[in-house]
Amino acid sequence: MNNSLEKDIFDYLSANLSDKRFDHSLNVANLAVELAKKNNVDIAKAQIAGLLHDCAKCTPSLDWIKFFKDKKKPSKYFKEISLFCPPLLHSFAGEIIAKENFKIKDKDILNAIKNHTLARENMSKLEKLVFVADATSIDRKFKNVSFFRKLAKKDIENAFLKLLTIKIKHNLERDTWICPQSITSWNWYISKLSNKS
């Protein structure tokens, strides 16, 4: 990543994120770079996607909905997300901020930002490692996180699917709405596994 872009991103994040969210973004970027090295993924792309994955996170939920008022709806589930869990919109807003504020055109980086929360079918390795880095960064404290952090460094594919499963189970246990995009994604990866066996 060039110095000018790095400075612009750091300035934006420090101005628009809480201290805790800023630190999380740095941690995700650091882990994304580490995972990129282990998985033959472009390190600069991993760093940019890791830094920007939560760039819209500290916007109040109602502002996320307003944010998309004059824009093309980012997901076929936009209406349901807006109704049942507006904070999920931050990943879609983050993709647009990356494009508009930082002139990022690389589709893989943009997809990694957009899909780090809900996943999608047939994700690239960069998308998966940002999803995993977000879930297992050093500031995360959930049960067995250290196991998943180690697993991610050995087997990104396995870590990704296990973490997606945990996200869905977590919502089921709390009786909270699950975005159909995550269910569709999980079914897609499980069916791929079934076809291999």
N-to-C CA span, the chain: 41
Q: Which CATH number fits domain 3-196: 1.10.287.3510, 1.10.3210.10, 3.90.650.10, 3.40.640.10?
A: 1.10.3210.10
What pLDDT score does 123 carry?
A: 98
The DSSP code for 105 is -
- Rg from Cα positions in the chain: 16
Chain Cα centroid distance, residue 43 = 16
Per-residue pLDDT averaged across 38-60, rounded?
96
- Rounded Cα–Cα distance for residues 134 and 116 (Å): 7
Question: Max alpha carbon distance in the chain (Å)?
Answer: 50
Question: What local confidence, expressed as pLDDT, does residue 197 receive?
Answer: 55
- Rounded Cα–Cα distance for residues 37 and 140 (Å): 21
**Can you tell me the distance from the alpha carbon of 165 to that of 69, in angstroms, rounded to the nearest whole number?**
32
Q: Which residue has the higher pLDDT, 61 or 165?
A: 165
Q: What is the mean pLDDT of residues 14-20?
A: 95
Residue 78 above 80 pLDDT? yes
Q: Tokens standing for 99?
A: 């494009």
DSSP 194: H
SS3 117: coil
Of 185, 165, 189, 155, the closest CA to residue 35 belongs to 155
Minimum mean pLDDT range among 20-29, 79-88, 124-133, 188-197? 188-197
Q: What is the pLDDT of residues 127-173, one digit of tens each?
A: 999 999 999 999 999 889 999 999 999 999 999 999 999 999 999 99
Instruction: Report whether 49 contacts 113 (CB < 8 A).
Output: yes
> Which residue carries 């800023």 as its tokens?
22
Confidence of residue 70 (pLDDT cuts 50, 70, 90): confident
pLDDT, residue 2, reads: 85
